[in-house]
Amino acid sequence: MKVKVLPSNRDFEARVDEPVLTAALRQHLNLPHSCKGGSCGTCRVRVLSGRYAYPHGRPLGITAAEESAGHALICQARALEDLVIETREIRHVTDVEIKSLPCRIERMERLAHDVMGLWLRWPAIEPFTWQSGQYVDVMLPGERRRSYSLANPPHDGRFLELHVRRVPGGAFSERLFSELQAGALLHMEGPLGQFVYRPGERPLLLIGGGTGYAPLKAMLRQVLETEARREVTLFWGARTDADLYEDGWLRLLDAKQQRFRYVPVLSEQVAGDACEHGLVHEAVLRKVPGLAGYDIYAAGPPAMIDAVRAALPPQGADPERIYFDSFEYAPS
Ligand SMILES: Cc1cc2nc3c(=O)[nH]c(=O)nc-3n(C[C@H](O)[C@H](O)[C@H](O)COP(=O)(O)OP(=O)(O)OC[C@H]3O[C@@H](n4cnc5c(N)ncnc54)[C@H](O)[C@@H]3O)c2cc1C
Ligand code: FES
């Protein structure tokens, strides 16, 4: 089936047994998306012509009314015939070529009891760049893939830095913790995703849950290392202080940099004055008056993203200026 994308007038081929988004990414067209699980709504398009189907019924991220108005979520929809779809594309992101590359594990470091830092090196002859906030897919056998955010900004582009949390029994993360060693070869595709840092004057509010800190670290470094004035506040939520694996570095940065504020938030441990207690979005609501002035970037588990999207706009945050990346896990 042929899928034509407006307004860019690009087209690509999609099989009936694969989501339209998967086909686009496979053919190196980085259409807007985040969770790839049908819940966040980022991949919504208008279907101008052609039939499609959802194999598991209408996904959670789209209402019946939106569907009747001609909208569809392409991370779930399969094309039944040729389609013409209209989508918002961020041109500077869609124009970057998605590459499929072998990568060697240059270094591995346990950042926390269940988080591994990985530094990957790609072939020197291949130019490769990305934007702070984007992710890469690590390819597994059987056409399976796992997404990991890049934790370093492109101006420090010698390696790709990933932070991988161990999921018991997880096809990739368990293998990483139990088997893989420095020197091993992985295959990756990227850069992917439209969760990218947008330069500007407004203060930044970064909200991360667990390894959702990774893409925010890239943005934080970009702002503090390449821009002169922009103010940044980072709220980092975790269960216990052992999970805040770069807490020491962030506290030092906070003490050194007047325009940076770091607020650690623990949900399962009361840690005195050194941390906020509760869920990370609750701490934001308590500590940040005047949310209207901020550009807000949130990354982490789907429940955290849903809470941020629901709770911040009623307190003044501009929904158009909340950007998010939901770490939905891949369907089996
Ligand atoms: C855009 C994006 C960016 C991401 N970035 C990161 C990142 O920077 N760091 C990171 O660690 N992860 C990140 N993830 C999640 C990551 O892609 C994988 O889903 C995760 O590492 C699990 O993969 P796995 O192969 O180890 O486990 P799988 O083989 O996928 O899962 C094994 C079993 O555990 C279940 N499961 C998987 N994850 C969870 C979970 N979190 N909670 C409960 N059950 C679960 C699965 O349903 C399955 O039954 C990101 C996801 C997305 C969509
Ligand atoms: S609903 Fe499709 S990417 Fe999230």
CATH value at residue 260: 3.40.50.80
Distance from the alpha carbon of residue 88 to the mean position of ligand 2, in angstroms? 14
pTM equals 0.86
Domain shared by 26 and 88, yes or no: yes
What CA–CA distance (Å, rounded) separates 20 from 155?
Answer: 33
Domain shared by 208 and 319, yes or no: yes
DSSP assignment of 208-257 equals EEGGGHHHHHHHHHHHHHH-SS--EEEEEEESSGGG-TTHHHHHHHHHH-
Per-residue confidence (pLDDT) for residue 94, from 0 to 100: 61
User: In a 10 Å sphere around its CB, with 0-12 CB exposed, 13-18 middle and 19+ buried, how is residue 126 labelled?
Assistant: exposed
Per-residue confidence (pLDDT) for residue 31, from 0 to 100: 87
CATH number where 83 lies: 3.10.20.30
Per-residue confidence (pLDDT) for residue 117, from 0 to 100: 98
134 lines ligand 1 (CB under 6 A): no
What CA–CA distance (Å, rounded) separates 120 from 106?
Answer: 5
301 lines ligand 2 (CB under 6 A): no
**In total, how many domains does the chain have?**
3
Give the residue carrying structure tokens 């591995």. 108
Per-residue confidence (pLDDT) for residue 73, from 0 to 100: 96
Amino acid code (one letter) for 143 = E
- Write the pLDDT tens digit of every residue in 143-171: 788 999 999 999 998 999 999 999 999 99
Kindly report the protein residue whose alpha carbon is nearest to atom 27 of ligand 1: 170
What CA–CA distance (Å, rounded) separates 283 from 303?
Answer: 16
Q: Estimate the crossing angle of helix 302-311 against helix 280-287, to 10 degrees.
A: 30
Domain shared by 182 and 102, yes or no: yes
Domain shared by 119 and 232, yes or no: no
Per-residue confidence (pLDDT) for residue 28, from 0 to 100: 83
172 lines ligand 1 (CB under 6 A): yes
Domain shared by 255 and 143, yes or no: no
Q: Which of 25, 63, 71, 75 to mutate to test the pocket of ligand 2 (most atoms within 8 A of CB)?
A: 75
Distance from the alpha carbon of residue 178 to the mean position of ligand 2, in angstroms? 31
What CA–CA distance (Å, rounded) separates 273 from 202?
Answer: 29
Spans in the chain with pLDDT lower than 70? 89-95, 331-332
Amino acid code (one letter) for 151 = A
Distance from the alpha carbon of residue 42 to the mean position of ligand 2, in angstroms? 5
Domain that holds residue 306: 204-326
Give SS3 for 302. helix
145 lines ligand 1 (CB under 6 A): no
Domain shared by 89 and 113, yes or no: no
Tokens of 122: 């790609």
210 lines ligand 2 (CB under 6 A): no
75 lines ligand 2 (CB under 6 A): yes
What CA–CA distance (Å, rounded) separates 144 from 141?
Answer: 6
Distance from the alpha carbon of residue 255 to the mean position of ligand 1, in angstroms? 34
Assess if residue 331 is contained within a domain: no
Domain shared by 106 and 32, yes or no: no
Per-residue confidence (pLDDT) for residue 95, from 0 to 100: 64
